[in-house]
Copies of this chain bind each other. A is one copy, B any other.
Amino acid sequence: MLEARALTALREAGADEKSATATTRAMLHASRLGVDSHGIRLTSFYADSLRTGQVNANPVFKPHRTAAASAMLDADHGLGHAAAYAGMELACEIAKDSGIGAVGITHSTHYGAAGAYALAGAEAGFISLSTTNADSLVALHDGTARFHGTNPIAAAAPVPGQKPWLLDMATSAIPYNRILLFRSLQRELPPDVTADISGAPTRDPHLAEILTPLGGRDFGFKGAGLAGLVTILSAVLTGSTPDHLVVPMNPEDGNATRHDIGHFCLAIDPERFIGREGYDALITQYLAGLRASPGSAPDTPMLAPGDREWATMEEREMLGIPVDPTTAAFLKLI
């Protein structure tokens, strides 16, 4: 039902079939795994971006193999999801032949949860990485202005007989949506994660306008460095716009200037390194060791990246995906 309504809403906003399908798939990935900030609630945002023309509703993709292990994909300013799934699929095909495959995606737009694409790669049997740059929201370490985007790093690895290992993290301490959530809850933010518009640290969600990089006051240079690595791979390498020059997607302003961000897809075939059998044994041994490692709550196993998300998915398969009232109204669910 949710899927059908999201598809309809995107089609009605003009999206071609591949864009509507991929965007819905990526939003449902996020909603199923509990990443609600990037879930089905984004449908109206994407629909509005299509209607203002900032996002191309009928993009023509131009994948271009540049060498045995590399390719470029021009996303033609369409919704980023379709380009990112296509890019990861191509990276996996290349990796199958060449051991590793990298695809740079240029002229793209917001692609939702980075983990969706890394997961697609792991489900196909590859260790996978997906990164994207974004419009600036995050200060540099000791900086007082927005510079980097929240620039996520998503990585996934196949695990025999289990759900993949799955990491999907912003390189800022918290995502921007956390500020909005705390505003509506009237709750104080954690220390060291946001600043006001002048760059002064604040815990007041109504004053918070700038995110700080992962690592806080003492180690924020690490989060800022990782954000920079993401910009270099996603935008500089692919010929897209660096974060601080990206025109935000604010469809409510009617802005039709191209967003023009980039994504980077990497797939690695374990078959061409230690071999599948050796890889399967070692990833199983590593994760068994991790889950058996002692934690502060006795009798509660440690969680590997993704474990919490897979538990949420099981729960939501039984109880359904929670939909906020605004989104429910938009999707005509109520």
Which residues of A line the B interface, CB within 8 A?
Answer: 66-72, 97-102, 104, 106, 127, 140, 142-145, 147, 153, 155, 157, 165, 167, 169, 173-174, 190, 193, 199, 214-216, 218-219, 221-222, 224-226, 228-229, 231-233, 235-239, 242, 244-245, 266, 268-270, 272-275, 278-279, 282-283, 285-286, 289-290, 293-297, 302, 304-305
- A290 in contact with B147 (CB, 8 Å): yes
- B104 in contact with A274 (CB, 8 Å): yes
Report B-chain residues with C-beta under 8 Å of the C-beta of A106.
274
Quote the shortest CB–CB distance from A151 to chain B (angstroms).
12
Q: How far is it, in angstroms, between the C-alpha of A122 and the C-alpha of B21 when the chains are bound?
A: 40
Q: How far is it, in angstroms, between the C-alpha of A290 and the C-alpha of B269 when the chains are bound?
A: 35
Label chain A's interface by main secondary structure.
mixed
Of B68, B72, B224, B294, which one neighbours A98 at CB under 8 angstroms?
Answer: B68
- A167 in contact with B290 (CB, 8 Å): no
Q: How far is it, in angstroms, between the C-alpha of A224 and the C-alpha of B214 when the chains are bound?
A: 13
- B278 in contact with A225 (CB, 8 Å): no
Can you tell how many copies of this chain the complex includes? 2
- Sample 30 A-B pairs with CB under 8 A, ordered by A number: A67-B100, A69-B69, A69-B98, A70-B268, A72-B273, A99-B102, A100-B100, A102-B268, A104-B273, A106-B274, A143-B295, A145-B293, A147-B290, A153-B226, A165-B232, A169-B225, A174-B219, A214-B215, A215-B215, A221-B305, A235-B286, A236-B279, A237-B268, A239-B274, A239-B275, A239-B279, A239-B282, A242-B285, A244-B289, A245-B289
Given contacts A140-B295, A278-B239, are A272 and B67 in contact (CB under 8 A)?
Answer: yes
Given contacts A99-B102, A100-B102, A268-B102, are A236 and B282 in contact (CB under 8 A)?
Answer: yes
Of B72, B173, B236, which one neighbours A286 at CB under 8 angstroms?
Answer: B236
Report B-chain residues with C-beta under 8 Å of the C-beta of A67.
97-100, 269, 272
Of B142, B169, B226, B286, which one neighbours A297 at CB under 8 angstroms?
Answer: B142
Report B-chain residues with C-beta under 8 Å of the C-beta of A72.
273-274
Q: How far is it, in angstroms, between the C-alpha of A153 and the C-alpha of B106 when the chains are bound?
A: 26
Of B269, B285, B294, which one neighbours A143 at CB under 8 angstroms?
Answer: B294
- B295 in contact with A144 (CB, 8 Å): yes
- A99 in contact with B127 (CB, 8 Å): no
Report B-chain residues with C-beta under 8 Å of the C-beta of A236.
157, 274, 279, 282-283, 286
Report B-chain residues with C-beta under 8 Å of the C-beta of A244.
286, 289-290, 293
Report B-chain residues with C-beta under 8 Å of the C-beta of A290.
140, 147, 228, 244
Report B-chain residues with C-beta under 8 Å of the C-beta of A167.
225-226, 228-229
Report B-chain residues with C-beta under 8 Å of the C-beta of A98.
67-70, 98
User: 7 additional contacts, CB 8 Å, given A147-B290, A242-B285?
Assistant: A66-B272, A70-B273, A100-B266, A104-B273, A147-B289, A214-B215, A228-B305
Nearest residue in B to A66 (C-beta to C-beta)?
A: B272
Given contacts A140-B295, A142-B302, are A69 and B274 in contact (CB under 8 A)?
Answer: no
Nearest residue in B to A221 (C-beta to C-beta)?
A: B305
Quote the shortest CB–CB distance from A300 to chain B (angstroms).
9
Report B-chain residues with C-beta under 8 Å of the C-beta of A147.
289-290, 293, 302
